[in-house]
């Protein structure tokens, strides 16, 4: 299987990922990308651009600047070939072991995070 995931990290980001509560990491199967740029149009952060080289199909492919990505998932939703995967991370959250003693506090902090707050405000939920 010739699936090559591309991840890029660029300098000069508009808003540094470390300053955000939630950021995204974009993985693109560059060998399946056809360079149609639908995802690029959908990205409000200007985090996607075409490569300077060609994939095995002969297309310039999309590469992502993860420093700009907010993890909104728009690009993955619009890609007609479903070659984008977005992972959301929280760069400020430190690792915590969940124990019987702190499980209540950990669940509370997860439920009150911005991602869950946004979902609860949506009409269809």
Q: Which residues bind ligand SF4 (CB under 6 A)?
A: 24, 26, 28, 33-39, 42-43, 45, 47-48, 62, 64, 69-75, 79, 81, 83-84, 86
For ligand SF4, the closer of residues 82 and 113 by Cβ is: 82
CB of 110 to ligand SF4, least distance (A): 21
CA–CA gap between residue 104 and residue 9 (Å, rounded)? 36
For ligand SF4, the closer of residues 64 and 99 by Cβ is: 64
Contacts of residue 73, Cβ cutoff 8 Å, sequence gap at least 6: 24, 86
For ligand SF4, the closer of residues 13 and 72 by Cβ is: 72
CB of 123 to ligand SF4, least distance (A): 21
The torsion angles phi and psi of 86, rounded to 5 degrees, stand at: -115, 130
Contact status, residue 52 vs residue 71, Cβ threshold 8 Å: no
For ligand SF4, the closer of residues 13 and 73 by Cβ is: 73
CA–CA gap between residue 68 and residue 47 (Å, rounded)? 5
């Amino acid at each position: 299987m010739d699936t090559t995931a591309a991840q890029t990290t660029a300098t000069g980001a508009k808003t540094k990922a470390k300053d955000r509560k939630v950021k995204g990491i974009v993985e693109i199967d560059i060998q399946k990308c056809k360079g149609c740029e639908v995802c690029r149009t959908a990205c409000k952060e200007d985090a996607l651009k075409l490569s300077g080289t060609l994939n095995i199909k002969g297309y310039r492919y999309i590469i992502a600047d993860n420093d700009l990505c907010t993890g909104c998932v728009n690009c993955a939703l619009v890609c007609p070939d479903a070659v984008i995967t977005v992972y959301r991370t929280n760069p400020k959250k430190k690792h915590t072991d969940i124990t019987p003693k702190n499980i209540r506090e950990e669940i509370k902090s997860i439920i009150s995070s911005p991602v869950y707050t946004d979902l609860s405000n949506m009409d269809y939920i």
